[in-house]
Amino acid sequence: MAPPRSSSPAWGSPDDDDDDYAAAADAHSSPVRPRPAGLSTPVAGARRTRAEYEGDEDHETLDPNEQAVLERYATVKKLRKDDLEEVRAYTTYSPALQRALDFVDRRALSREVAEIKATARAAEFTVPESFKKNGKALGYKMLLKPSATTYKGTVLNSQLLDKLIELGCNLPANVRDDAALMERLRTECGSLLSDCRSALRKALHKSFGVAATAAVPNEDAKKHATLLVLTTTLTHFDRNLKITYEHCARSALMRKVYIKYSEAAEQKDFWGELQKEVARIADIARKSAEKSGEKNKTAVTQGDVAAKTSNIYKDIVRKDRAAHGDVTLDKDGIDELASERANGSGSALAPAASTAGLAIGAAAAAAAAAGADNSEAPEGDEA
């Protein structure tokens, strides 16, 4: 007799497979790698269940597998260690913050590209010849001005550039709005002033009656140019300049500093030393005026400081005239020069005029001008 049939499906029947498949389908997950006890996050290489993934507030957070792929990619691209740390931090930010950071990067990159293009345009820009010609002419005026206080540096370069822009000099319209071009022109002004300083220094050296290769001035002071001849030699670079007593005073100071510079091997910057000496004279004059004011119990004015400054330069001129050249003081032509500080009663700096001295001084000055080199300022070391 056959065994009775059961109402339930037998083990291994197709119905059993259907139930297993249905349970597996409801899980909605790939096989999950077991996690160590107490570990709340999946280990690298493990997959999260859909329930875990859909429970995240931020679906853009990288899982460990994606993080590993990212780091391998960064390694292939040869990112530095600090760059990789920034990438890791970036992946933890919210999508809103990531978008904001990306926008900042785009703006910064856009600005950098614009600057690179502007720099390239400035590099290709050809400086007009009128800019160079006027730049040298103005450069000599600035360096030979008796009231000059600055002889080198970015401030002087910028001052020259401002004057040239005012003149036009065939520069592009709105040139001030192009930062890269302005920097290029400012550098060009520095080169023009360097040429002017070089020419003036060589002329000063030649006035000592020595060859250009000589290291120090001629020991025989009688072979040195007189002060008026020296001033004429220096100022001939500015063809429209009218020599005054103040020009001679500044030339005397330049000669004094140059001698000190040539005798001291450690002093390699003549123009820097001259600038310091001008500032030192101004400081001493101011302190002397203040001291006199305290003594007389009066307020110090600009006129008081100017008078003290004038006295210092008068002494420099007096010593220079006595020490250099082979012409007596009554015939060197200095006393006949006009002064920029002249008033109704005569010159504030220069003594009374002597027509005999003027004639001899003028003749010597003319001879110096005739022998001076009127060519363009030579290139070379300006120290």
- pLDDT tens digits, one per residue of 5-59: 555 555 556 666 666 666 666 665 555 555 555 555 555 555 555 555 555 555 5
Find the mean pLDDT for residues 79-105: 85
Residue 100 in this model has a pLDDT that exceeds 90: no
List beta partners, residue 343: 346
Q: Which value, in Å, is the radius of gyration of the alpha carbons in the chain?
A: 42
The least confident of 138-147, 183-192, 280-289, 371-380 is 371-380
Q: How far apart are CA 277 and CA 259, in angstroms?
A: 13
pLDDT computed for residue 360 by the predictor: 36
Find the mean pLDDT for residues 136-147: 93
Confidence of residue 344 (pLDDT cuts 50, 70, 90): very low
**Residue 286: count of CB within 10 angstroms of its CB:** 16
Question: How many residues comprise the chain?
Answer: 383
CA distance between the termini of the chain: 128
Residue 273, token pair as written in the block: 């030393």
Find the mean pLDDT for residues 155-169: 93
pLDDT computed for residue 106 by the predictor: 84
pLDDT digits (tens, 9 = 90+) for 262-281: 765 555 688 999 999 999 99
**Which 8-state DSSP code applies to residue 346?**
B
Nearest to 324 by CA among 220, 234, 246, 254: 220
Residue 129 in this model has a pLDDT that exceeds 60: yes
Residue spans per domain, the chain: 65-124, 199-371
Nearest to 270 by CA among 202, 188, 189: 202
pLDDT digits (tens, 9 = 90+) for 53-84: 555 555 567 778 888 888 888 888 888 888 88
The residue with greater pLDDT, 374 or 186, is: 186
Can you list the alpha helix ranges (DSSP code H) found in the chain?
14-27, 50-54, 64-76, 81-90, 95-124, 129-144, 154-167, 179-206, 227-235, 245-263, 270-296, 302-323, 355-371
The answer to whether residues 311 and 318 touch, using CB atoms and an 8 Å cutoff, is no
Q: What are phi and psi of 343, to 5 degrees?
A: -130, -165
Residue 78, token pair as written in the block: 């040869």
**Residue 254: count of CB within 10 angstroms of its CB:** 26
**Residue 18: count of CB within 10 angstroms of its CB:** 11
CB neighbour burial string for 2-11, b if at least 16 within 10 angstroms, e if fewer: eeeeeeeeee
pLDDT computed for residue 246 by the predictor: 92
Q: How far apart are CA 133 and CA 139, in angstroms?
A: 10
Residue 104, token pair as written in the block: 């900042």
Confidence of residue 305 (pLDDT cuts 50, 70, 90): very high
Residue 150 in this model has a pLDDT that exceeds 90: yes
Residue 89 in this model has a pLDDT that exceeds 80: yes
The answer to whether residues 45 and 25 touch, using CB atoms and an 8 Å cutoff, is no
